[in-house]
Amino acid sequence: MDVQSVVSTTRHVPNALKIAIDERDGGTCKVRGCDHSLGLERHHTQLFAEHHLTTYEILGDLCDEHHDLVTYRGYEIIDHGDSTWGLRPPRGHTNAA
């Protein structure tokens, strides 16, 4: 099975996807330079409410701190294209993560 083509239309992440993502991301936070491995939360990069898709490409693990920045503080995920992410602060903030 080609796991990258696994698509779920629910929030549930199929086991095969979980394993593939853990392998890709090495079990640490996806933000470049962040090596937190405890309390990771699986994050959907695109609003699930809009797309209703759970796929390999839009999922990644974020540590507590970075997950909160994205979820509650309006930070935007930038995909570096090398399987790491950056965070862009919302307008008006200057301290990049």
Interface residues with Zn ion (CB under 5 A) are: 29, 31, 34, 36, 63, 66
CB of 2 to Zn ion, least distance (A): 29
Nearer to Zn ion, 16 or 64 (CB): 64
User: Which residues, at least 6 apart from 12, have a Cβ–Cβ distance to it below 8 Å?
Assistant: 54
CB of 55 to Zn ion, least distance (A): 22
Nearer to Zn ion, 1 or 33 (CB): 33
Q: How would you label 52-81 residue by residue, b for 16+ Cβ within 10 Å and e otherwise?
A: eebbbebbbbbbeebbebbeeeebebeeee
Nearer to Zn ion, 10 or 39 (CB): 39
* Minimal CB distance residue for Zn ion: 29
